[in-house]
Structure 1
Amino acid sequence: MTKIFVIYTGGTIGMITDPETGALKPFTFEQIEENVPELKRMNCKLTIHSFDPIIDSSNMTPDIWAYLAKLIEDNYEDHDGFLILHGSDTMAFTASALSFMLEGLTKPVIFTGSQLPISEVRTDAKENFITALEIASAKLDGRARVPEVCIYFENKLYRGNRTFKYNSAKFEAFRSPNYPVLVEAGVHIKYNDAAIGKCENCILKVHSNVNNNIGVLKLYPGISPEIVDVVLNSDAEAIIMESFGTGNTTTAKWFLDKLESAIKRGKIILDISQCKVGSVELGRYETSSELLRMGVVNGYDMTFEAAVTKLMYLLGRKYPKDRLLRRLSTSIRGELTKH
Structure 2
Amino acid sequence: MRDNGRMRKTPPELPTILIFATGGTIGMHDVGNGLEPDPAFLEILEERADRVASRYGYRARVNQLQPAIDSANADEETAPKIARALKARVGAMRASGVVVTHGTDTLAYTASRLAFELSGLGVPVVVTGSQFAHGARPTDAFDNLQLAIRAVTQASPTAPVAIAFGGKILPAVRATKSDAEALSAFRAERDLGVGPRGLPGSPEDAALVRADHARVVSVRFTPGVAAVDLLALASTGAAAMVLECYGAGNAPMTKPGMRDALRTISEQMPVVAITQCALGSVDTDRYAVGRQMAAAGVIAGADLTVEAAIAKLGYLLDRGFSAEEIAHLTPMNLIGECSEPSRRATSTRAAGREDASA
* Fold in common (TM above 0.5): yes
Q: Please say which of residues 105-114 and 234-243 is displaced more in the overlay.
A: 234-243
Deviation by residue 1:229-283 (Cα, 9 ceiling, x = unmatched): 32345543322111111101123163223222433x3432110112222111111
Cα deviation for residue 196 of structure 1 reads 11
Q: Which residue is 2:82 aligned to?
A: 68
Kindly provide the amino acid, as one letter, of the partner of residue 157 in structure 1. Answer: I
Q: Which residue is 2:172 aligned to?
A: 160
Alignment of 1:129-278 (within 5 A): 129-138=145-154, 143-144=156-157, 147-179=159-191, 204=204, 211-252=213-254, 254-263=257-266, 265-278=267-280
Which whole-Å CA distance do the structure 2 matches of 1:167 and 1:106 have between them? Answer: 32
TM-score normalized by the length of structure 1: 0.83
Q: Residues 245 and 61 (structure 1 numbering): CA distance in 2 closer, same or farther, change over 3 Å?
A: same
Q: Does 1:118 align with 2:96?
A: no
Q: Please say which of residues 49-58 and 110-119 is displaced more in the overlay.
A: 49-58
Alignment of 1:28-107 (within 5 A): 28-32=41-45, 34-35=47-48, 38-39=51-52, 41-77=55-91, 78-107=94-123
Q: Are the counterparts in 2 of residues 216 and 231 from structure 1 also a CA contact under 8 Å?
A: no
Which whole-Å CA distance do the structure 2 matches of 1:273 and 1:238 have between them? Answer: 17
Q: Please say which of residues 80-89 and 267-276 is displaced more in the overlay.
A: 267-276
Cα deviation for residue 198 of structure 1 reads 11
Q: Residues 156 and 233 (structure 1 numbering): CA distance in 2 closer, same or farther, change over 3 Å?
A: same
Which whole-Å CA distance do the structure 2 matches of 1:45 and 1:198 have between them? Answer: 34
Q: Are the counterparts in 1 of residues 77 and 213 from structure 2 also a CA contact under 8 Å?
A: no
State the number of aligned residues. 318
5+ residue gaps, structure 2: 1-13, 345-358
Cα deviation for residue 57 of structure 1 reads 0.8
Q: Quick check: which one's strand share is greater?
A: 1
Kindly provide the amino acid, as one letter, of the partner of residue 110 in structure 2. Answer: T
Q: Are the counterparts in 2 of residues 9 and 86 from structure 1 also a CA contact under 8 Å?
A: yes
Q: Percent identity?
A: 27
Q: Please say which of residues 91-100 and 292-301 is displaced more in the overlay.
A: 292-301
Q: Are the counterparts in 1 of residues 20 and 100 from structure 2 also a CA contact under 8 Å?
A: yes
Q: Residues 282 and 134 (structure 1 numbering): CA distance in 2 closer, same or farther, change over 3 Å?
A: same
The one of 307, 311, 314 equivalent to 2:313 is: 311
The one of 280, 287, 290 equivalent to 2:289 is: 287
Q: Which residue is 1:185 aligned to?
A: none
Which whole-Å CA distance do the structure 2 matches of 1:52 and 1:268 have between them? Answer: 32
Which whole-Å CA distance do the structure 2 matches of 1:147 and 1:90 have between them? Answer: 22
Kindly provide the amino acid, as one letter, of the partner of residue 259 in structure 2. Answer: L
Tell me the SS of whatever aligns to 1:75: helix
Deviation by residue 1:289-327 (Cα, 9 ceiling, x = unmatched): 222233310111111111112111111111233212211
Q: Which residue is 2:26 aligned to?
A: 13
Q: Residues 282 and 71 (structure 1 numbering): CA distance in 2 closer, same or farther, change over 3 Å?
A: same
Q: Are the counterparts in 2 of residues 83 and 136 from structure 1 also a CA contact under 8 Å?
A: yes
Kindly provide the amino acid, as one letter, of the partner of residue 136 in structure 2. Answer: E
